[in-house]
Amino acid sequence: MVDLSQYLPILLFLFVAVILSAAFVFLPMGVSRLTGAHNPNAEKNSEYECGFPAFEEPRSQFDVKFYLVSLLFIIFDLEVAFLFPWAVSLGVTGVVGWSAMMVFLFILTIGFIYEWKMGALEWD
């Protein structure tokens, strides 16, 4: 017979997490309905991200520049993700770790300069 009592803390943790998640999602919605904060009008429902109403089909294709800029953001965001553990362990890795990261940053900088010169960061 398997003793399942050791899983009780995990079950309790999941139960509390579900209750708290539901409270954080549904409680503000209920309070806003009760206090009258839920009052949609034309101004609240207007476009706010780009400043002008949508005039094309929502499933239209994006320009390739959009994807290129997003990929560049991900690449340079990953650079920061590599820099933090490197900086924390620099005392352990020493000169070899420092020189490896400098080579990595040099290659990344060359790539950034190439993208800049090719106009990948220009938005038309």
Cα–Cα dist 24/20, whole Å: 6
| Token pair belonging to 88 | 């924390």
* The predicted structure's pLDDT at residue 2: 79
Examine residue 18 and state whether it is found in any structural domain, yes or no: yes
Examine residue 123 and state whether it is found in any structural domain, yes or no: no
Region of poorest pLDDT, from 9-13, 21-25, 58-62: 58-62
CA 34 to chain centre: 33
pLDDT tens figures, 25-42 = 999 988 888 887 667 777
Cα–Cα dist 14/18, whole Å: 6
Examine residue 84 and state whether it is found in any structural domain, yes or no: yes
Per the structure, the complete domain to which residue 101 belongs is given by: 4-118
| Residues 120 and 68: beta-carbon distance below 8 Å | yes
Domain tally, the chain: 1
Q: Which one is predicted more confidently, 46 or 10?
A: 10
Where does the pLDDT of residue 53 fall: very low under 50, low under 70, confident under 90, or very high at 90 and above? low
pLDDT tens figures, 60-113 = 776 777 777 788 888 888 888 888 888 899 889 899 999 998 998 899 889 888
* The predicted structure's pLDDT at residue 77: 84
| Token pair belonging to 25 | 């999602």
* The predicted structure's pLDDT at residue 79: 81
* The predicted structure's pLDDT at residue 124: 65
Q: Which one is predicted more confidently, 12 or 34?
A: 12
Q: What CATH number corresponds to the domain at position 76? A: 1.20.58
Query: Hunting for tokens 């919605």 — which residue is that?
Result: 29
| Token pair belonging to 36 | 């009258």
Cα–Cα dist 3/35, whole Å: 49
Give per-residue burial for 22-51: e unless 16+ CB within 10 Å, then b: eeeeeeeeeeeeeeeeeeeeeeeeeeeeee
Examine residue 124 and state whether it is found in any structural domain, yes or no: no
Cα–Cα dist 91/68, whole Å: 36
